[in-house]
Every structure is written in C-alpha cells, then in structure tokens.
C-alpha cells in the first residue's frame, strides 16, 4: 500500500496510471494532467483496500492564470467514508 511521502504524478490518463495500486486513505498523491497548455490537479486515494479509487479535483494551472489550488484541508475533503463501518474497542485501564 502506497502511503508514505508526497507524490506528484504527471499523466495523460489518470485512471490507467494508478490502475492496480492500493492508495491508503491518508496517501498524499496528486495527479497532474496537462492538456493544451493548462493542467488539472487531482488527488487520488481509497477509503480502504477494497474500495474504488476516488479522484477529487483540487486545483488547476494555466499560463495565463498561474496556479489555483483548493485551500480546503485534506481531512475535510475526505470526511465522507462512503458507508464504511468502523469498529473499535475501549479498554478500561486503571493506573493505580
């Protein structure tokens, strides 16, 4: 599972570039797709190993308007877990 470091990947076909990779929920992978002098920045991640690849546009770049990137925090953008059920355990530990 790819989850360490920051990745910027330039590609003409985002989905095929990431095909077969498992991208962790906390992965920092940004795809740059350039077409005719302008670019689109898209973050890529998965909720878990069995979920589909999720792609969120986060910015754009043009020669005329420079770089325009969303200022919304990564965790706020990823707040929808698309129905994933979380399980947890609480331990009652006395420190005496």
Percent of the chain with pLDDT over 90: 25
- Alpha helix (H) ranges present in 24-90? 74-77
Enter the CATH code of domain 6-76. Answer: 3.40.50.2300
* Domain range annotation of the chain: 6-76
pLDDT at 88: 93
Measure the CA–CA gap between 40 and 30, rounded to whole angstroms.
10
pLDDT at 90: 92
pLDDT at 85: 87
> Model pTM?
0.73
Beta strands of the chain (E only): which ranges?
6-10, 28-35, 38-45, 54-62, 66-69
Residues of the chain with pLDDT under 50: none
């Amino acid at each position: 599972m790819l989850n360490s470091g920051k990745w910027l990947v330039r590609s003409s076909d985002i989905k095929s570039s990431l095909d077969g990779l498992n991208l962790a929920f906390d992965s920092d992978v940004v795809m740059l797709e350039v077409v005719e002098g302008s670019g689109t920045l898209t973050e890529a991640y998965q909720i878990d190993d069995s979920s589909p690849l999720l792609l969120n546009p986060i910015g754009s770049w043009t020669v005329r308007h420079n770089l325009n990137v969303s200022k919304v925090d990564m965790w706020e953008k990823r707040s929808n877990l698309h129905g994933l059920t979380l399980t947890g355990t609480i331990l009652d530990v006395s420190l005496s």
